[in-house]
Amino acid sequence: MSNPSELRACALHCLTETDPAAKAAAVEAMAQAHAAGRLPLDPAIVLEPALPVPGRPARPELVSPRLVGRRSMATLEGRAMLIHALAHIEFNAVNLALDALWRFPGMPPDYYRDWLRVAREEAYHYSLLAAHLATLGHAYGDFTGHDSLWEMVEKTRADITARMALVPRTLEARGLDAIPPLRAKLAQAGDQAAASILDIILRDEVGHVAIGNHWYGWLCARQGLDPATTYDELAIRYQAPAIKGPFNLEARRLAGFSEAELRRYTTA
């Protein structure tokens, strides 16, 4: 499909784009067109991808998480490997936001606008990290990556409640915990530019996880489900990874996790 004239169809079109820079630019153009009223939303249409999704470049090579190289802050290459790993996460996050936008029909208009916002901000994060990686003498694709985030997107492709439970508020929420110590390591290594990028990412990721929390709660309420017991059932059904600390409790509170849920994490 070329030049789609509807928002969700355009999101699917962006998702099939294989070039990361072109994908990021297409997402920004899509967001601007929708804001200007040139790209209307139709929540009711049912879409089918004409090409395999997600669109990805030939590199990086995808390997098991345990085979991704060690990222020592003591060397320039080690810092580059860490920035590359973060860029890979953000590139995948663009794809998952686009998938959440196009895949599930019949949701309220605000659902799609929320995920458009997430896609736009994730594309911005990717662009910041890719540009910084270039200052370290590398490009996205120079190192290996893993596919854990997209694997859960694929598992939950037919279950929007599971998608909201297990991707933004589980896998992405782990970033809220991981970013502060990574930022400290980069700052200690003298890479203040990278540390500043992580400040932006953490700020925005709080909002992204909050979106997942909001729509998970909305979906549970619509179906008459208890959010806590439903989450446990979904985590088992879809083999979600265990939630392990240490936790950034302040960021998780800002992202909408309840005190009861935070107590479950910290007392497990």
The reported pLDDT for the residue numbered 37 is 97
Phi, psi of 147 (to 5 degrees): -120, 25
Whether 234 and 166 have beta carbons less than 8 Å apart is answered as yes
Phi, psi of 172 (to 5 degrees): -70, -30
The reported pLDDT for the residue numbered 264 is 86
Percent of the chain, pLDDT > 90? 88
Average pLDDT over residues 227-256: 95
Q: Where are the domains of the chain?
A: 7-267
Token pair listed for 61: 């090579």
Token pair 């800002």: residue: 254
Q: Residue 196 — pLDDT band, cuts 50, 70, 90?
A: very high
Average pLDDT over residues 217-229: 97
The reported pLDDT for the residue numbered 66 is 74
pLDDT digits (tens, 9 = 90+) for 120-163: 999 999 999 999 999 999 999 999 999 888 999 999 999 999 99
Q: Which fold has domain 7-267?
A: Ferritin (1.20.1260)
The reported pLDDT for the residue numbered 188 is 94
Lowest mean pLDDT of 44-48, 62-66, 133-137, 200-204, name the range. 62-66
The CA distance from 223 to 190, in Å, is 50
The reported pLDDT for the residue numbered 243 is 87
For the chain, the C-alpha Rg in angstroms (whole number) is 18
Cα distances (angstroms) measured from residue 131 to each of 67, 145, 170, 254: 25, 18, 28, 29
The reported pLDDT for the residue numbered 268 is 62
Burial class (CB in 10 A: 0-12, 13-18, 19+), 94: buried
Token pair 């901000």: residue: 121
Average pLDDT over residues 232-241: 96
The CA distance from 45 to 106, in Å, is 8
Cα distances (angstroms) measured from residue 45 to each of 36, 82, 106, 107, 112: 21, 40, 8, 11, 13
Phi, psi of 18 (to 5 degrees): -95, -25
